Amino acid sequence: MRSTSRVRLNQRPRSRLVFSPRLLAIVAPMAMFAVLFAPNGAAANSVAPFSPAPLFSVGIARCTFVDHSRQVINYSTKPFSVFSTKRTLTTEIRYPIAKVSGGASELAGATPVQRIGGYPMIVFAHGYDVTPDVYRALLDSWTSAGFVVVAPIFPDEKPSAVAAQHGVNTEDDLVNEPADIAFVTRKVLLASTGAPAACPIVKGLVQSSEIALAGHSDGATAVGMLAYDHGVDPQGANYSSLRTGIDYRAVIILSGDENTYQPFANEISRPSLLIVHSLADQCNPIRNGVKFYDDVHQHNKWFLELRRAHHLPAFDGADPSAFRVVAATSIRFLQMSLQGVLESPSLLTYGNQQPAIARMFNGGLGPSLVNAPKLVPNCGLN
């Protein structure tokens, strides 16, 4: 049970997301690429007619950024104490490299393919008690399409931190993660200019005017807070100030929540928004994603309703059909939002081409939940 002495994001209990390595052993990232980019007619529910072949293979590196201005909280003590006086954010960087035939899907430390002006950047926030590697299939699909993907590992929500605090529920640290995301974003942008050399692999790789935020579960909620909330986090950081000066132009919310304890932003210009949520999500009911979508009043928003997927498999690749739609649709959304790519058919038509797997909504209200199934809460292996 979560402590009531901390600010709670919502009224429902949030169980941890349990990840089984067996799933990725069954459905490897390279297999996901083969399905996503299959030739026309090669797969039963193929989106290949609108899916470009991958442009790159994936290089991966880790950089560490240390924020000395904020603390890591120890949730295993009562009252809560300070676990560390600095927030150390080890960050996975995925970047385009020259295409490699066969072999590993990711090559550690490989030489990047340079691009004049740099690549669009996606800053990704992981869920509770997992690391970004859980989502490697999705993150690699974005990278292979020509994006740099930056994924910080959060100090209190990574598995080692949960274990170090004797397995207590550390999810209340979520409210500190928007500042982590903004901090890492700024550090990577600075490193891309070559000064300082804290993360030399990204030098010259990032286009500072083409940035997206994305996250899953708790990470999606943190991303939503950074993109839309006003108010102040427990360490005194103002959410609207955190995003000032960073050109976030797209936001992807994967099975996330709205933070109803903070007022939503009311800026005239807002980043494009894509929310993906499933009717069959037993961990975070779809009504939470629909509320988020309906409360954001802008025309450049889309809701992709998955019909049968659960909380994680559409994003780690364990549900190949749902993953295929999520990967292809999110890539198209990113290309349109960050790079101004105008293609036919529209994103709405694109997301609706496999109605047995997913339905897309745009602009107005999200899906009606009148006939939504009543599910037994379960954040385990679903």
Tokens of 234: 């427990």
pLDDT of residue 367: 87
| pLDDT tens, position by position, 11-55 | 333 433 433 333 333 333 444 444 444 333 333 344 444 456 789
Domains, in order of start, for the chain:
21-362 (3.40.50.1820)
Q: How far apart are CA 116 and CA 143, in angstroms?
A: 17
DSSP labels, 279-300 = TT-SSS-HHHHHHHHHHS--SS
Burial class of residue 357 (count of CB atoms within 10 Å of its CB; 0-12, 13-18, 19+): buried
| pLDDT tens, position by position, 253-270 | 999 998 877 777 666 568
Residue 67's DSSP bridge partners are: 87
pLDDT of residue 265: 66
Q: Are 312 and 318 in contact (CB under 8 A)?
A: yes
Among 126, 124, 123, which residue's Cα sits nearest to residue 158? 126
Three-point CA angle 253, 255, 259, nearest 5° = 70
pLDDT of residue 223: 95
pLDDT of residue 5: 28
Among 78, 73, 85, 71, which residue's Cα sits nearest to residue 5? 78
Low-confidence ranges of the chain (pLDDT < 70): 1-52, 103-104, 265-269, 380-382
Measured between alpha carbons, how far is residue 353 from residues 46, 122, 129, 149, 359 in Å?
10, 26, 34, 27, 8
| pLDDT tens, position by position, 275-320 | 999 999 999 999 999 999 998 888 999 999 999 999 999 999 999 9
Tokens of 96: 């385009």
